[in-house]
């Protein structure tokens, strides 16, 4: 990522973004940085014209017009994976007294509301005539005089005044805000996530997006056994994930015929397993069509009868793609905590059924044998059922 021009010292605010594990990527680092820059540009487009560029492990986001919605852009950046911290900053000339004046005015409210402070300097421009410690001491001393109610606390200050001496400019900012972390969406390839209307699958999709996976969603819809409200609920969940995962395509798969065929032909104790095997087959076909290289599910070990180790081995055996289960080792409370944090929980618990609750057998096999499935499915024309479901799939862009 190359810097494009010298910042305008007389302008307003800008944002400084700190990259996380991207800086450890060695020879691949440029690819991750470019992906992050592209994601930021797409996310910021609706808030005005911004210049996004990187230098010395920092991404700079600079507004190009007064009409930019800085608050909207600030909130949007907080959900962009690949950013571990972000600060609203003021650019200034690289002069010790200008640093002080900028800190005094730009951080005035923060300093007035604090009881303690310290100054911390990063001096990337080694031609600057003062060392980092010297600049911190100089500006800190003047701020101590300007705000007599403040005490210097170098260990646990209420406010840290950050001074950055970069190649083209100086920057002043206060305490950074935590970012979303992770890796830029798309840097890890593409996957297909099975999205039900429950709590677990949206969390699983969020977690894989955080690891850089671009996602398509697959939802299995069994109208009229499941209502149109259930379908809208799933689309709403997808919409709640878009601040993190970007624009999503939701593949709505008609599943009624397959479930009715299973009810007629499959032994009841194996019904759920056979149903999930169809889901995996269809999801893999969707993945092939969209160029995805993995499947993502919200399965958690032992949570329900179809999520035992043996049951998952049976359902996974019908696909060749790797299946990622990011919540596999979490209990329900841990999953709920994440769902609340990302805003999907309240929608997930709306009382609209999904296809997994339709025709639920009274007794399910918890330790199935793979060898028993071919006989249970022998009356089914599996290929024809899968092909028809894929052909009739509706794709909704969110």
Helix (H, G, I), strand (E, B) or coil at 375: helix
Q: What is the mean pLDDT of the chain?
A: 93
pLDDT digits (tens, 9 = 90+) for 119-132: 999 999 999 999 99
Describe the crossing of helices 271-290 and 256-265 by its angle, rounded to 10 degrees: 150
If asked whether residues 118 and 245 sit together in one domain, one would say no
For residue 87, the tally of other CB atoms under 10 A from its CB is: 20
Residue that is last in its domain, among 178, 198, 219: 178
For residue 66, the tally of other CB atoms under 10 A from its CB is: 8
**pLDDT score for 356:** 62
Q: Give residues with Cβ within 8 angstroms of 209, minimum separation 6.
A: 81, 182, 185, 215, 241, 244, 245
| Beta-bridge mates of residue 296 | 193, 324
pLDDT digits (tens, 9 = 90+) for 195-204: 999 999 999 9
CATH number for the domain harbouring residue 314 = 3.40.50.620
DSSP string over 154-222: SSS-SEEEEEEE-SS-EEEE-SPEE---SB-TTTT-EEEEE--SSSHHHHHHHHHHHBT-EEEEEEEE-
If asked whether residues 169 and 210 sit together in one domain, one would say no
In the numeric block, the tokens 């052909």 are attached to 391
Residue that is last in its domain, among 178, 209, 228: 178
User: Is residue 10 pLDDT above 80, yes or no?
Assistant: no
> Considering the entire predicted model, what is its pTM?
0.90
The answer to whether position 8 is within a domain reads no
Q: Residues of 91-106 as b/e, b for ≥16 C-beta within 10 angstroms?
A: bbebebeebbebbbeb
Residues 283-304: what's their mean pLDDT? 96
If asked whether residues 197 and 165 sit together in one domain, one would say no
pLDDT digits (tens, 9 = 90+) for 31-64: 999 999 999 999 999 999 999 998 878 899 999 9
Per this entry, what is the length of the chain? 398
If asked whether residues 120 and 198 sit together in one domain, one would say no
If asked whether residues 93 and 203 sit together in one domain, one would say no
Residues 218-238: what's their mean pLDDT? 94
In the numeric block, the tokens 């969390």 are attached to 203
Task: Report the run of H or E that residue 137 belongs to, with start and end.
Answer: helix 132-146
Distance of CA 290 to the CA centre of its chain: 20
User: Is residue 4 pLDDT above 60, yes or no?
Assistant: no
User: Is residue 15 pLDDT above 90, yes or no?
Assistant: yes
User: Is residue 281 pLDDT above 50, yes or no?
Assistant: yes
pLDDT digits (tens, 9 = 90+) for 77-107: 999 999 999 999 999 999 999 999 999 999 9
- Peptide bond between residue 224 and the one before it cis (omega within 30 degrees of 0): yes
Nearest CA to 332 among 302, 353, 310, 311? 302
**pLDDT score for 3:** 46
Query: DSSP code of 321?
Result: S
The answer to whether position 2 is within a domain reads no
Q: What confidence category does residue 259 fall into, taking pLDDT thresholds of 50, 70 and 90?
A: very high
Domain total of the chain: 2
User: Is residue 229 pLDDT above 80, yes or no?
Assistant: yes
Domain around 101: 13-178
Integer-rounded Cα Rg, in Å, for the chain is 26
If asked whether residues 165 and 41 sit together in one domain, one would say yes
If asked whether residues 330 and 240 sit together in one domain, one would say yes
Q: Residues of 235-265 as b/e, b for ≥16 C-beta within 10 angstroms?
A: bbbbebbebbbbebbbbbbbbbebbebbeee
Q: How far apart are CA 250 and CA 57, in angstroms?
A: 35
């Amino acid at each position: 990522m190359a810097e494009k021009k010298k910042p305008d010292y007389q302008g307003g605010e800008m944002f400084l973004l700190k990259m996380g594990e991207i800086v450890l990527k060695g020879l691949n680092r440029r690819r991750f940085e470019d992906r992050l820059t592209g994601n930021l540009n797409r996310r910021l487009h609706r808030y005005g014209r911004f210049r996004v560029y990187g230098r010395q492990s920092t991404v700079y986001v600079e507004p190009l017009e007064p009409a930019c919605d800085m608050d909207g852009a600030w909130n949007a950046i907080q959900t962009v994976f690949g950013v571990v911290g972000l600060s609203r900053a003021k650019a200034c000339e690289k002069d010790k007294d200008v640093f002080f004046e900028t800190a005094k005015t730009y951080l005035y409210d923060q300093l007035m509301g604090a009881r303690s402070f310290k100054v911390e300097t990063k001096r990337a421009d080694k031609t600057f005539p003062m060392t980092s410690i010297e600049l911190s001491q100089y500006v800190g001393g003047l701020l101590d005089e300007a705000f007599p109610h403040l005490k210097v606390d170098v260990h646990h200050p209420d406010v840290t005044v950050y001074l950055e001496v970069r190649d083209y400019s100086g920057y002043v900012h206060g305490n950074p805000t935590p970012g979303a972390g992770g890796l830029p969406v798309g840097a890890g390839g593409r996957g297909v996530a099975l999205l039900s209307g429950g709590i677990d699958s949206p969390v699983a999709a969020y977690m894989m997006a955080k690891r850089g996976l671009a996602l398509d969603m697959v939802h299995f819809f069994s109208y009229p056994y499941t209502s149109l409200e259930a379908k809208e609920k799933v689309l709403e969940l997808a919409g709640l994930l878009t601040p993190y995962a970007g624009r999503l395509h939701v593949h709505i798969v008609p599943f009624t015929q397959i479930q009715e065929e299973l009810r007629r032909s499959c032994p009841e104790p194996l019904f759920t397993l056979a149903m999930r095997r169809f889901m995996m087959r269809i999801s893999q076909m969707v993945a092939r069509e969209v160029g995805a290289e993995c499947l993502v599910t919200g399965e958690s070990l032992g949570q329900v009868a179809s999520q035992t180790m043996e049951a998952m081995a049976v359902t996974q055996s019908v696909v060749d793609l790797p299946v990622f289960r990011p919540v596999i080792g979490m209990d329900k409370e841990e999953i709920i905590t994440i769902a609340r944090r990302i805003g999907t929980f309240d929608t997930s618990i709306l009382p609209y059924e999904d296809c997994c609750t339709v025709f639920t057998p009274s007794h399910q096999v918890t330790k199935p044998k793979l060898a028993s499935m071919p006989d249970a499915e022998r009356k089914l024309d599996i290929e024809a059922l899968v092909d028809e479901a894929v052909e009739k799939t509706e794709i909704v862009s969110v």
